C-alpha cells in the first residue's frame, strides 16, 4: 500500500526543497544579516547598546520556538510555518520604519519568530518524505541557503551604503512574505496532527524563563552585571523557569512533558548545546584574529598574510558540504553515528585552530572544516532528535534542538567574550586581545567539543543497545 510519501526525487519534491531552502534564507536575513549594518544602526539610534539591536532577535526566537513547535503539532506544520514567516515580515517592517530604539527592539523580537522556520522545515520534510530520502533532504534544507548567504552579503553592503540600513529589513520583509505565499501554494499540509490545545501559560513561562536568563548573559556585559535591567531579567527568568518546571511536571497537556524526554533525547540535546556553542565561539573569534597583523607581535594575527575575506566565507562553504553529506551518511550508518562523527571532527578542527590563529592557510582549512562540522551537526542533530519522537510530536521535539543551539551560542559566545576581556592587554595606548585570551578561547571550545564527543559516543552505544533490545 502506498504511504503517499516521497521515496525518490521528482518535480514536486524538487520544488518543495527549493522553497524550504529559501525559507531558511529568511532565517539568516532575520537573525544574522543585521550584523552587517550594526554600526549604522548604532549611529542612527544614537546608542552603544549593540546587544539590544543584535541579540534580541535570537533571544526572542528562543521564546517563540516551543510555542510554534507545539502549535505545528496541533494545527499543522505548513500553517504554522506560514504564520511564522508573516510574523517575521511584520517584525522586519517595524524595524525598517522604527523612529527610535524603543520601537526597533520590539520589531526585532517579532522578527525573531523566523528562527522557528528552521525546525519547522525539518519537521515538514520528515512528514512528506520516506525516512531514507528525508535524511538527505534535511541536510540540503538546513544548509543549502549558505550559498545564498555568501552572495547576499556583498549585495546588502552595497545597498546599505546607498539607501541606509533600513533596506536590509525591507528586503527581509519582502522575502518573508514571498516565501509565505510559496509555502502556502507548494507545500502540502501534513495530515498527522495532535489533538489538544496550546498551553499558552506554559509557553509564556518557558519562553520568558529562557529569554530572561539568556538576556542576562547576553546583555549583562554591555549594561553591567549588577545593573537593574539585567538583574531583573535574571530574576524573572529563574522564577519563570522554576514555575514552568513545577507546573509542567503535573500538567497532563503541558507544552513539553519533562517526564517523557528520555535519556537518549537529553543526551542529544546536550551534544547539540556543547558543539553548537563551541562552533559559535570560534566563529566569533575568526574576525578578531583576522583583524590583527603579526607585525603587532601579539602572538597571533592574520591580517598581513593575504586576503582574509575568504576566512569569513570559508565556514559557509563548509556548511554547504557538511549538511548534505551528513544526510547521506545518516541514511547509511545512522544519524547517531553521524552526529558522533561530526563532533569528533569538530574536536580535531577546533584544536587545529591553535595553529590557525597565526597562519592563514591553516586558518582557511580549519574554518572550512568548522563549517563542515556545523552543517553535519545541524542535520544529524535534527535527525537524531526526530527519531526519538512520534510523528505527532515532531514539531515540539525539533524546536528543542533549535532552543539548545541558541542557548549554546549565547552561553559560549559570552564565555569567549568574557575571557578575551579579562585577558586584554594595552599596546601603544590601545586595549587589544592578548594571545593568552585567544588561545584560552580555543582551549575552551576544544574542551567543550571533547565533552560533546564523549556524550555522542555514549548516545551511539545507548541507541545500539535499545535497537538490540527491540530486535530481541
Query: Do 250 and 306 fall into the same domain?
Result: no
Query: Do 423 and 284 fall into the same domain?
Result: yes
Per-residue pLDDT reduced to its tens digit, 338-368: 999 999 999 999 999 999 888 888 989 998 9
Q: Is 70 exposed, middle or buried (0-12, 13-18, 19+ CB in 10 A)?
A: buried
Range of the domain at 91: 8-193
Distances (CA, A) of 78 to 45, 128, 168, 195, 215: 37, 11, 26, 17, 30
What is the number of domains present in the chain? 3
Question: Highest mean pLDDT range out of 62-71, 102-111, 136-145?
Answer: 102-111
Per-residue pLDDT reduced to its tens digit, 126-173: 888 888 898 999 989 888 777 777 777 778 778 888 888 899 999 999
Query: Do 162 and 122 fall into the same domain?
Result: yes
Beta strand 430-432 with 425-427 is antiparallel
Query: Do 54 and 82 fall into the same domain?
Result: yes
Instruction: Kindly report the CATH number assigned to the domain that includes residue 144.
Output: 1.20.1250.20
For residues 198 and 49, the answer to whether their CB atoms sit within 8 Å is no
- Main-chain phi, psi angles of 429, to 5 degrees: 80, 5
Domain membership flag for residue 348: yes
Query: Do 250 and 340 fall into the same domain?
Result: no
Q: Distance between alpha carbon 170 and the CA centroid of its chain, in Å?
A: 23
Query: Do 174 and 280 fall into the same domain?
Result: no
Domain membership flag for residue 223: no
Percent of the chain exceeding pLDDT 90 equals 33
Query: Do 364 and 283 fall into the same domain?
Result: yes
Domain membership flag for residue 229: no
Domain membership flag for residue 222: no
Domain membership flag for residue 423: yes
Helix (H) / strand (E) element for 104: namely helix 101-111
Query: Do 18 and 59 fall into the same domain?
Result: yes
Q: What is the pTM of this model?
A: 0.83
Query: Do 150 and 35 fall into the same domain?
Result: yes
For residues 245 and 81, the answer to whether their CB atoms sit within 8 Å is no
As a whole number of Å, the CA-based R_g of the chain is 22
Domain membership flag for residue 247: yes
Q: What angle do CA 266, 394, 176 make, to 5 degrees?
A: 115
> pLDDT at residue 71 above 80?
yes
Amino acid at each position: 500500500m502506498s504511504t503517499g510519501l516521497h521515496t525518490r526525487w521528482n518535480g514536486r519534491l524538487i520544488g518543495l526543497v527549493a522553497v524550504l531552502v529559501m525559507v531558511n534564507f529568511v532565517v539568516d536575513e532575520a537573525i544574522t544579516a543585521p550584523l552587517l549594518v550594526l554600526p549604522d544602526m548604532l549611529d542612527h539610534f544614537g546608542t552603544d547598546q549593540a546587544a539590544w539591536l543584535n541579540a534580541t532577535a535570537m533571544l526572542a526566537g528562543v521564546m517563540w520556538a516551543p510555542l510554534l513547535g507545539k502549535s505545528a503539532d496541533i494545527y499543522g506544520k505548513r500553517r504554522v510555518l506560514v504564520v511564522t514567516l508573516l510574523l517575521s515580515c511584520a517584525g522586519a517592517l517595524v524595524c525598517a520604519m522604527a523612529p527610535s530604539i524603543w520601537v526597533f527592539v520590539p520589531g526585532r523580537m517579532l522578527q525573531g519568530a523566523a528562527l522557528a522556520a528552521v525546525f519547522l522545515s525539518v519537521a515538514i520534510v520528515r512528514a512528506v518524505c520516506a525516512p531514507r530520502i528525508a535524511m538527505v533532504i534535511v541536510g540540503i534544507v538546513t544548509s543549502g541557503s549558505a550559498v545564498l548567504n555568501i552572495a547576499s552579503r556583498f549585495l546588502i553592503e552595497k545597498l546599505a551604503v546607498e539607501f541606509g540600513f533600513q533596506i536590509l529589513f525591507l528586503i527581509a520583509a519582502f522575502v518573508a512574505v514571498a516565501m509565505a505565499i510559496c509555502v502556502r501554494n507548494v507545500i502540502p499540509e501534513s495530515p498527522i496532527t495532535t489533538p489538544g490545545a496550546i498551553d499558552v501559560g506554559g509557553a509564556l513561562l518557558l519562553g520568558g524563563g529562557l529569554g530572561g536568563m539568556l538576556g542576562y548573559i547576553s546583555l549583562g556585559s554591555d549594561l553591567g552585571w549588577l545593573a537593574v535591567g539585567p538583574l531583573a531579567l535574571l530574576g524573572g527568568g529563574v522564577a519563570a523557569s522554576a514555575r514552568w518546571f513545577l507546573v509542567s511536571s503535573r500538567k497532563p497537556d503541558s507544552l513539553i512533558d519533562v517526564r517523557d524526554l528520555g535519556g537518549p533525547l537529553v543526551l542529544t540535546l546536550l551534544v547539540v548545546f556543547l558543539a553548537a556553542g563551541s562552533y559559535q565561539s570560534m566563529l566569533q573569534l575568526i574576525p578578531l584574529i583576522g583583524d590583527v597583523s603579526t607585525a603587532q607581535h601579539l602572538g597571533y594575527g592574520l591580517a598581513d598574510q593575504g586576503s582574509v575575506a575568504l576566512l569569513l566565507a570559508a565556514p559557509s562553504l563548509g556548511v554547504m558540504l557538511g549538511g548534505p553529506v551528513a544526510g547521506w551518511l545518516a541514511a547509511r550508518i545512522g544519524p547517531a553515528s553521524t552526529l558522533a562523527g561530526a563532533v569528533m571532527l569538530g574536536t580535531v578542527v577546533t584544536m587545529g585552530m591553535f595553529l590557525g590563529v597565526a597562519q592563514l592557510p591553516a586558518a582557511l582549512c580549519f574554518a572550512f572544516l568548522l563549517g563542515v562540522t556545523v552543517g553535519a551537526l545541524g542535520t544529524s542533530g535534527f535527525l537524531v532528535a526526530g527519531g526519538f519522537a512520534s510523528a505527532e510530536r515532531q514539531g515540539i521535539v525539533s524546536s528543542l534542538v533549535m532552543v539548545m543551539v541558541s542557548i549554546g551560542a549565547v552561553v559560549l559566545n559570552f564565555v569567549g567574550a568574557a575571557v578575551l576581556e579579562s585577558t586584554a592587554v594595552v599596546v601603544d595606548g590601545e586595549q587589544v586581545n592578548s594571545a593568552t585570551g585567544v588561545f584560552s578561547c580555543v582551549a575552551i571550545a576544544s574542551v567543550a567539543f571533547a565533552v560533546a564527543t564523549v556524550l555522542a559516543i555514549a548516545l551511539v552505544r545507548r541507541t545500539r543497545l535499545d535497537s538490540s533490545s527491540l530486535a530481541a
